[in-house]
Structure 1
Amino acid sequence: MNELIESLIRSPVFGIGISISTFYAGSLLYKRTRSPFMNPLLLSMLMIIALLVSLQITFEDYNQGGQFISFFLGPATVILAVPLYKKISLFRENIIPIIGGIGIGSAAGIVSIILMCKMFGLDELLSVSMIPKSVTTPIGIEISDQLGGLPSITVAAIVFTGIAGILIGPQVCRLFKIDDEVAVGIAIGTSSHALGTTKAVEIGETEGAMSGLAIGIAGLVTVFLAPLLAKLLL
């Protein structure tokens, strides 16, 4: 029996199964509470971590199936172009402020994380690993490799940033009275990439389209700015 259980844990079915089941459970809790702190992704992460720790299951065993879900991250990001296509005329009307806002937001995100790392005395390796925190994971990993960072730290920073965008992004917009649909979408997408975009889509179609647009442009801007600003400020 023990051999059967160990074989199941090490199979891709285990990682895929608990990922889907915990996310489904998180979605049910969110639908009942509608609390931003009951985000399905956040709840799923916490449940998976608790399960792995309590049963002493290694990440490598879990990732036998988890890697298959990660594989679909890229295609899922591309799908975000669909709502943008529906709002292409709005993009053309606001192309200058949109691109300018994304560029300034990306630069501010890079500078702020470098300054905070220096403020808290983090070494250069950790600092460069967290610079791509506001871009989607595939782009962030490549930037981290280019800067000589640790991809595992980069992924953790990206996930944390995305969760923060989901939880507090809309509240920050309300606090500063940012109610323009385009501005809200650009702000969330530039600061918290694909995870934040899931919240922007929930807020409205325009916000989702602009947030999806911001993911791609912010990624390109960060690819060029990250090495330059890292050399100047680190």
Structure 2
Amino acid sequence: MLHELTSNPLFGLILSIFVFLCARKLAAKLKIAIFNPLIVSIIIVIATLKITGISYDDYYVGGSILNMLIAPATVALAIPLYRSIHLLKHHARSIMSGIIAGTIVSTLTTGLFAVLLKYDEVLLASLLPKSVTTAIAIDVSKQLGGISTVTIIAVIITGIGGAIMAPAVLKFVKVEEPVAQGIALGTSAHAIGTVKALELGTAEGAMSGLAIGVTGVVTVFVAPFMLQLFMQWL
């Protein structure tokens, strides 16, 4: 009876949505960065599956429905970008150079850490696209010969970490320009960072949404080069 219930696609879907909504209310009430709704949701879902003995495969029957919505949700970020198109036109050169520089620095530092910590080629390939949204990161990882599961974990950790630390870091380095804040969040922390950017303001969210797309495109070209560059030292 339990298996029939949990293997129903609605189970994983309803559980995920319900837990996330509860986590959002908790985050809004506590206003503590570490209680990011995504972190809390992941912990609660894992705990629920462990305690009840429900298999991940049963849960993912419904959870995969949400997974399919990642790409459409990313495309939907174009809406705030359209509303702030005047900012893009005015700061086009600075925006594009900032995103490209941020992407190169992200993959370069990942490669340097790989050499210092003696990663193997597969692990490096899995981590190089960590700063782009999941839909793009998985494809890049597969093309490089990485492990999709490791890539997904790296993307989640990068996004959550960026969303939590970004306000403090931006304040510390005295970056107050909305466009710069949005570009920084989108380039380093992809979709999760964009959620935080939208909390800061419409302009920040729009620029962050733009950064997600451009960072993804740049990473497609930069990641293979970085992999070849650092392979000789691994």
Task: Tell me if TM exceeds 0.5.
Answer: yes
Q: Name the structure 1 match of 2:95.
A: 98
Residues 118-140 of structure 1: CA deviation (Å, up to 9, x unaligned): 21122111111010000011110
Q: Indicate yes or no: 2:52 matched with 1:55.
A: yes
| 1:53-109, Cα deviation, whole Å (9 max, x unpaired) | 222222211100000011111111111101111111111111111000000000000
Give the aligned partner of residue 27 of structure 1. 24
Most deviating of 164-173 and 99-108: 164-173
Q: Which amino acid aligns with 2:165?
A: I
2:119 matched to 1:122? yes
The alignment's C-alpha RMSD in Å is 0.9
25-34 vs 196-205, greater mean Cα deviation: 25-34
| Paired amino acid for 2:207 | M
Aligned to 2:154: 157
**Secondary structure of the equivalent of 1:37?**
coil
| Alignment partner, residue 67 of structure 1 | 64
Q: In structure 2, what is the equivalent of residue 175 of structure 1? A: 172
Structure 1 residue 52 displacement after superposition: 1.3
Q: Tell me how far 1:144 sits from its aligned partner.
A: 0.5
- Structure 1 runs, 4 residues or longer, greater than 3 Å off: none
Letter of the 1:225 counterpart: V
Give the corresponding residue for 1:13. Answer: 10
Identity of aligned residues (%): 42
Partner of 1:189: 186
* CA–CA distance in structure 2, aligned partners of residues 59 and 176 of structure 1: 42
| Corresponding letter in the other structure for 2:134 | T
Match of 1:80? 77
Contact 2:186 2:208 (C-alpha < 8 Å) held by counterparts: yes
Unpaired stretches in structure 1, ≥5 consecutive residues: none
The alignment covers a number of residue pairs equal to: 231
Unaligned runs of 5+ in 2: none
In structure 1, C-alpha distance between the alignment counterparts of 2:53 and 2:126, rounded to whole Å: 28
